[in-house]
């Protein structure tokens, strides 16, 4: 477990003591102060002689009351048509990079690819170190600790894969950023943004590198690495702008397992993902954030009370219901690396809850034909509405294990805020239906005292780093699992699984929650869904580019096309989505897209922030790409 610091607010403690003593009553509203690293900001005066490198961008006026124009208007592009690239005459000189580093107090890192020790063409070449990297390549922690690595190397360009070939000597940066700023102060982020904007460089924002499409990297980029920002502050009596109750303030680099542990320590529950190492304040909240808590309290983005943000012009602001309300709306669900760099978020916490989980598996065999197997999956789907309405969540795998043979497994099914008797009552009809189909299962049902204990005890560790698969996803509305549409939905799912697709499914809904502000940019498709299905397509390790293209095309244009056809107008989850998603604006953002695009033009008029499939990304392209394999390895240019 990575180290983190737990801070206490001296002020809150003092007020509590004084209030206990009857000395004073606490003020009606007191918003928590910024973290220490957030008080270290870049002053205009400090830029002085280096204005050409570090000056701030033009001032931005927030849209009053968050009401934005919703028509897509495209302003004339500002600046050169491409970001400058290593080797260009305009690429900063080594003296200029050194000046940036000095100004940053030494926080600039020149990229060494994570697997460089495996390659003779890097001074880091070291067979023992290479072996250690190969052994841990599928462990997300290895990548999280690295400033530039990305967990889906296919979109980096596979230019420096770990290898056991002792003669390997062709590792290059590929889609990795050129330089990273290991930010430990807000001023570091301000300097990085100002430098990248003034020098016309590509900017990347990297937290953990989890994104399915490697949206946190980019060739020739200066990257802001938020990993070292680890503060966690528990606010037992948060009381700010009308919101009262327990909350957590989380620095940008805090990951799920850290916040769950902090919540456990303080006897509360916090919304986070299912994966131990996903960052909370970065891509998770920006993308919407699904979790085992969703059916009880809504999305991760719904829990956000305020954010601290460095804007594209380099200015540092607080974003909440009153301050920059338009960004408060957009930053909760509108996507990462689009409107600024979030340096911390404050999220609502809930009382501790019991959790009961269930695991079991079934597969085809002597007594279970393929038809019976899929009928069993259909039976489960027929309970999606009832299970989520009761607050439950299901995480399951369905895959082919040989010709005509299939396997289903819960990883687990999860009853949030349920004791074992409550959970058993909920699932018994489902278990009886499976038995009536002739599917024998052996459920293991376990009650835990808290979310953290259930998470620790029941979620499998994640495996990343493979370059042999590619995923897409669909947010199926509840209608898909009701009688009139269930068969058609099941047929579309079966087609993909029969073809070799690996289904990682969630029975989930984003519950309405009057205790939080749910008027945000979360994809509206989440509000209607009870099934979130990720579908992965894989290819052999030795596959040629042509084979990878063919598999990707089948995934997007055949398997997923059927899923789209059976759920017209629904959407997909941008944070676990297809980098080749057709009409990504509709799929990932739905009806929010025009407003999000207008805000992008308003807050980032020079196009400093870019990520594949992010809002406004359709105006840019990474050059030199093969169809269906859109890597981040190439120069970033405006589309003509």
Ligand X SMILES: Cc1cc2nc3c(=O)[nH]c(=O)nc-3n(C[C@H](O)[C@H](O)[C@H](O)COP(=O)(O)OP(=O)(O)OC[C@H]3O[C@@H](n4cnc5c(N)ncnc54)[C@H](O)[C@@H]3O)c2cc1C
In the complex, the residues that contact ligand X under the rule CB under 6 A are 151, 205-211, 215-216, 226, 252, 273-275, 278-279, 281-284, 286-287, 289-291, 336-337, 341-342, 462, 464, 575-576, 611
- Residue placing its CB nearer to ligand NAG in the complex, 263 or 311: 263
Pairing of strands 268-269, 350-351: antiparallel
- Residue placing its CB nearer to ligand NAG in the complex, 441 or 502: 441
How many C-beta atoms lie closer than 10 Å to residue 120's C-beta? Answer: 12
Among ligand NAG, ligand X, none, residue 342 binds (CB under 5-8 Å by kind): ligand X
DSSP assigned state of 68: -
Q: What's the full length of the chain, in residues?
A: 640
- The SS3 assignment for 157 reads coil
Task: Tell me the window of 394-402, 450-458, 560-568, 610-618 that interacts with ligand NAG (CB under 6 A).
Answer: 450-458
Answer yes or no whether residue 110 interacts with ligand NAG by CB under 6 A: yes
Among ligand X, ligand NAG, none, residue 462 binds (CB under 5-8 Å by kind): ligand X
- The SS3 assignment for 238 reads strand
Among ligand NAG, ligand X, none, residue 170 binds (CB under 5-8 Å by kind): ligand NAG
Site mask, ligand NAG, residues 331-370, x = CB under 6 A? -------------------x--x-----------xxx---
Are 518 and 495 spatial neighbours (Cβ–Cβ below 8 Å)?
A: no
Answer yes or no whether residue 108 interacts with ligand NAG by CB under 6 A: yes
- Residue placing its CB nearer to ligand X in the complex, 62 or 209: 209
Interacting residues with ligand NAG between 24 and 83 (CB under 6 A): none
Among ligand NAG, ligand X, none, residue 273 binds (CB under 5-8 Å by kind): ligand X
Which string of DSSP letters, residue by residue, matches 239-266? Answer: EETTEEEEEEEEETT-BHHHHHHHHHHT
Task: Tell me the window of 100-108, 133-141, 331-339, 544-552 that interacts with ligand NAG (CB under 6 A).
Answer: 100-108
Residue of the chain from 106, 123, 402, 403 that contacts ligand NAG (CB under 6 A)? 106
Both structure tokens of 99: 């000046």
CB of 204 to ligand NAG, least distance (A): 16
Alpha-carbon distance 405 to 435, whole Å? 19
Among ligand X, ligand NAG, none, residue 474 binds (CB under 5-8 Å by kind): none
CB of 322 to ligand X, least distance (A): 21
Task: Tell me the window of 42-50, 105-113, 127-135, 581-589 that interacts with ligand NAG (CB under 6 A).
Answer: 105-113
- Residue 167's alpha-carbon distances to 123, 125, 133, 158, 466, in angstroms, are 14, 11, 17, 17, 22
Alpha-carbon distance 494 to 473, whole Å? 15
Both structure tokens of 446: 């376990």
- Residue placing its CB nearer to ligand NAG in the complex, 64 or 483: 483
Answer yes or no whether residue 514 interacts with ligand NAG by CB under 6 A: no
How many C-beta atoms lie closer than 10 Å to residue 605's C-beta? Answer: 18
Sequence-ordered list of residues with C-beta below 8 angstroms from that of 361, at least 6 positions apart, any chain: 407, 408, 409, 410, 441
Order of strands across the sheet that contains 108-110: 108-110, 179-182, 221-225, 202-206
Among ligand NAG, ligand X, none, residue 205 binds (CB under 5-8 Å by kind): ligand X
- Residue placing its CB nearer to ligand X in the complex, 309 or 492: 309
Q: Helix %, strand %, coil % for the chain, to 5?
A: 35, 20, 45
CB of 215 to ligand NAG, least distance (A): 21
Both structure tokens of 349: 């916490």
Helices 420-437 and 370-382: angle between axes, nearest 10 degrees? 150
Are 221 and 201 spatial neighbours (Cβ–Cβ below 8 Å)?
A: yes
- Residue placing its CB nearer to ligand X in the complex, 345 or 490: 345
Interacting residues with ligand NAG between 272 and 311 (CB under 6 A): 296-297
Both structure tokens of 620: 């840019």
Among ligand X, ligand NAG, none, residue 120 binds (CB under 5-8 Å by kind): none
Count of residues near ligand NAG by CB under 6 A: 20
Answer yes or no whether residue 461 interacts with ligand NAG by CB under 6 A: no
Answer yes or no whether residue 159 interacts with ligand NAG by CB under 6 A: yes
- Residue placing its CB nearer to ligand X in the complex, 15 or 285: 285
To the nearest 10°, report the CA torsion of 561, 562, 565, 566.
-150
Both structure tokens of 385: 């509405």
- Residue placing its CB nearer to ligand X in the complex, 168 or 392: 392
- Residue placing its CB nearer to ligand X in the complex, 157 or 282: 282
- Residue placing its CB nearer to ligand X in the complex, 363 or 397: 397
Sequence-ordered list of residues with C-beta below 8 angstroms from that of 191, at least 6 positions apart, any chain: 42, 54, 100, 103, 104, 181
- Residue placing its CB nearer to ligand NAG in the complex, 440 or 626: 440
Alpha-carbon distance 459 to 359, whole Å? 10
Are 393 and 416 spatial neighbours (Cβ–Cβ below 8 Å)?
A: yes
Residue of the chain from 453, 554, 586, 601 that contacts ligand NAG (CB under 6 A)? 453
Binding site for ligand NAG (CB under 6 A): 101, 106, 108, 110, 159, 170, 296-297, 350, 353, 365-367, 417, 440, 453, 456-457, 483, 487
């Amino acid at each position: 477990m990575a180290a983190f610091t737990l801070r206490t607010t001296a002020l809150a403690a003092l007020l509590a003591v004084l209030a206990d003593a009857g000395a004073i009553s606490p003020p009606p509203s007191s918003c928590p102060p910024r973290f220490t690293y957030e008080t270290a900001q870049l002053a205009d005066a400090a830029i002085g002689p280096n204005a050409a490198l570090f000056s701030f961008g033009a001032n931005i006026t927030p849209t009053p009351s968050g009401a934005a124009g919703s028509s897509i208007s495209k302003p004339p592009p500002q600046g050169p048509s491409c970001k400058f690239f290593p080797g260009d005459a305009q690429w900063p000189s080594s003296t200029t990079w050194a000046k940036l580093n000095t100004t940053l107090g030494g926080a600039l890192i020149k990229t060494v690819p994570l697997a460089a020790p495996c390659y003779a063409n890097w001074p880091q070449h070291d067979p023992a170190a290479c072996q250690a990297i190969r052994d841990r390549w599928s462990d997300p922690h290895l990548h999280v600790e690295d400033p530039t690595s990305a967990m889906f190397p296919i979109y980096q360009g596979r230019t420096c894969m770990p290898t056991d070939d002792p003669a390997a000597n062709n590792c290059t940066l590929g889609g990795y950023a050129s330089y990273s700023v290991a930010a430990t102060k807000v001023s570091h982020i301000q300097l990085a943004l100002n430098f990248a904007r003034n020098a016309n460089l590509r900017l990347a924002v990297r937290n953990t590198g989890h994104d399915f499409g490697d949206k946190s990297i980019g060739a020739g980029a200066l990257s802001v690495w938020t990993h070292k920002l680890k503060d966690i502050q528990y606010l037992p009596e948060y009381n700010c702008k009308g919101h009262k109750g327990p909350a957590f303030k989380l620095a940008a680099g805090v990951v799920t397992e850290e916040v769950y542990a902090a919540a456990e320590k303080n006897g509360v529950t916090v919304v986070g993902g299912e994966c131990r190492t996903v960052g909370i304040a970065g891509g998770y909240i920006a993308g919407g954030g699904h979790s085992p808590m969703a059916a009880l309290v809504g999305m991760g983005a719904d829990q956000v009370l305020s954010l601290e943000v460095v804007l594209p012009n380099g200015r540092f602001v607080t974003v909440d219901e009153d301050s920059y309300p338009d960004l408060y709306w957009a930053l909760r669900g509108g996507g990462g690396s689009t409107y600024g760099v979030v340096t911390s978020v404050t999220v609502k916490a809930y009382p501790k809850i019991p959790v009961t989980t269930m695991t079991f598996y079934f597969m085809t065999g002597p007594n279970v034909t393929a038809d019976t197997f899929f009928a069993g999956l259909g039976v489960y789907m027929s309970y999606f509405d009832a299970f989520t309405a009761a607050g439950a969540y299901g995480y399951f795998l369905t895959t082919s294990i040989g010709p005509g043979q299939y396997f289903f497994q819960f990883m687990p099914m999860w009853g949030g805020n349920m004791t074992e008797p409550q959970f058993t009552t909920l699932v018994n009809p489902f278990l009886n239906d499976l038995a009536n189909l002739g599917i024998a299962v052996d459920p293991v049902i376990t009650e835990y005292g808290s979310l953290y204990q259930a998470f620790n005890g029941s979620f499998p560790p994640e495996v990343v780093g493979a370059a042999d698969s590619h995923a897409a996803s669909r947010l199926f509305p509840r209608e898909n699992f009701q009688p009139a549409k269930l068969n058609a939905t099941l047929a579309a799912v079966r087609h993909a699984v029969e073809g070799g697709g690996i289904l990682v499914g969630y029975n989930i809904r984003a519950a309405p929650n009057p205790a939080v502000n749910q008027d945000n940019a979360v994809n509206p498709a989440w509000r209607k869904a009870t099934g979130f299905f990720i579908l992965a397509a894989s290819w052999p390790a030795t596959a040629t580019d042509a084979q990878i293209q063919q598999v990707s095309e089948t995934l997007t244009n055949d398997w997923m096309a059927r899923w789209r056809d059976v759920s017209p107008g629904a959407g997909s989850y941008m944070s676990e989505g297809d980098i080749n998603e057709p009409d990504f604006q509709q799929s990932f953002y739905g009806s929010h897209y025009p407003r999000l695009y207008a805000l992008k033009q308003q807050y980032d008029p020079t196009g400093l922030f870019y990520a594949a499939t992010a809002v406004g990304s359709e105006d840019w392209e990474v050059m030199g790409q093969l169809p269906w394999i859109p890597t981040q390895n190439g120069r970033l240019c405006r589309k003509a």
